[in-house]
Amino acid sequence: MSIDSAFLDRVRSRVSAGDALEVAVDAAARSSGVVLGSSALASTARTVRGELFGAGPLQPLLDDLDVTDVLVNGPGDVWVERGGRLVRAAVDLGSEGDVRALAVRLAAAGGQRLDDAAPTVDARLPDGTRLHAVLPPVAEAGVLISLRVVRARALTLEELLRSGTIAPGLVPVVRALVSAKANVLISGATGCGKTTLLAFLLSLVPDTERIVVIEEAGELRPDHPHVVRLVARRPNVDGAGGVGLSELVRTALRMRPDRIVLGECRGAEVRDVLTALNTGHDGGFATLHANAAVDVPARLEALAALAGMSRDAVAAQAASALDAVLHLRRSRADHGQRYLAEVGVVRRADSGALEVVDAVRADPGGTCLDGPGWPALAERLGLRSR
C-alpha cells in the first residue's frame, strides 16, 4: 500500500496515544480501507518504523551488516561503503526538499538543530549511528548527509584475524599491552578502524576492572560487564549547558576507574588525559588522528598547544604517561583493508624531544618485522625478546 505523509500522520497520532507500532499501522490501514495480511503488516511496519524513527529509505542500508557508511550527495546520488569499497546504492530519496526534511528530522532525533541559522550538524542518533549533515549554501550542490554505523558488539579476535586487521604475530603483543596495563594511544586516519580495535582491546580487560569511557559520540561497544559511559554535550541554541571532554576527564577521575578511556583526542583535553595517566591510572587508552606513528608527537604538541602547554611540557608528560602507540592504516589494495600496521614505543630522545620508535611493523599480508624499539617494549610487557 502507499505510505504517504497522511498515513504516517495517522500512525504517529496513534503511537502518541499509546498504541504499539503494528497496531497503529493496522488501524491506519483499515481507516484507508485496506486490510493487511500478517506478512504485509510486518513489512509495512518496518517501513513506517524507518520513516518515523529511523533513516527512512536509508534505513535498510544502515541495517546491512556489511555497510559501515552511508553517504548522500543528492536525492538520487547515494553511496555506501561495503567491504572497504564505496559503491553506489539504488536508492531514490525523492526531491531535494525530501532530502532536507530527512536531514532535519535526523538532526532532531539526535537532539540537534539543523536550519539556515545552523547549517551543519554533528549528532548521534538514538541507535548510536553518527550523523553529519550540511545544508546549502554551505553545501553548494545541495544537502549532504553522512551516516556512520556503530555496530552493537565488539568484534572477536577470530573475526579480526580473518579480516586481516590484526596479524597473528601481533596477537601476543596486543594481549600483553592490556594485561600489563600499559597506557596506549591508537592512531590512524578517519575510518581506519581505531574504534573497532579499541573495542576489542577493552574486551580483553579482566571482568573485575571498572572501565570509564569518555566520548563525544558514544561509539564504543566493548564486550565487558563493567563499562561506565560519559558523553560530551553540546551547548544549546543559547550557548549554555555544554559539557566538554576536558570536564568529563576530570569527572572520570572521581569515579574509581581502573581504566580511563578517551574515545578521541582532538583538542585541549589532551592535557587532562596526560595528567590523568600520570597520576597512577594505568591501562588507559585514547585514539588520535595521525598519518603515522612517528607523527604522533607532532600531533600531541599541536593539540596540547591549545591548552597552553609548551613543547617541553608535552614531552615530559607524554613520555611518562604513554607506553605505546598502535597505528592503523588502510591498504591501497584489497579494497582498502584496515590493518594494524605499527606498534611504537613512546620515549624522550637525547635532545629532549618526544619520539615514537618502531617496535613492530606489519604489512597487509600479516608479515611482522621487529624494529629498534622492540627490546624496550618486550621488557615493559614481560615478553620474550625475539
Is residue 156 pLDDT above 80, yes or no?
yes
237 in the same domain as 199: yes
77 in the same domain as 98: yes
Domain count, the chain: 3
Cα–Cα distance measured from residue 114 to residue 112, given in angstroms and rounded to the nearest whole number: 7
27 in the same domain as 13: yes
**Residue 241 CB neighbours (<10 A):** 10
113 in any annotated domain = yes
Higher pLDDT among residues 32 and 215, named by residue: 215
212 in the same domain as 336: yes
376 in the same domain as 232: yes
Out of 117, 148, 179, a domain closes at 148
132 in the same domain as 71: yes
Out of 148, 165, 200, a domain closes at 148
386 in any annotated domain = no
CATH number assigned to the domain comprising residue 108: 3.30.450.370
166 in the same domain as 101: no
pLDDT at 385 (0 to 100) = 63
Cα–Cα distance measured from residue 304 to residue 314, given in angstroms and rounded to the nearest whole number: 7
Across the chain, the runs of DSSP E, i.e. the strands, are 67-74, 77-82, 85-89, 120-124, 130-134, 144-148, 184-188, 211-215, 227-231, 259-265, 285-289, 324-330, 338-348, 354-362, 368-370
70 in the same domain as 34: no
171 in the same domain as 79: no
Is residue 186 pLDDT above 80, yes or no?
yes
| pLDDT tens readout for residues 245-303 | 889 989 999 999 999 999 888 888 999 989 988 888 899 999 999 999 999 999 999 99
Calculate the average pLDDT of the chain.
Answer: 88
179 in the same domain as 64: no
| pLDDT tens readout for residues 257-267 | 999 999 888 88
Least confident range of 20-29, 66-75, 92-101: 20-29
Out of 121, 148, 175, a domain closes at 148
Mean pLDDT within 197-216: 94
pLDDT band of 194, cuts 50, 70, 90: very high
**Domain assignment of residue 336, given as a range:** 157-381
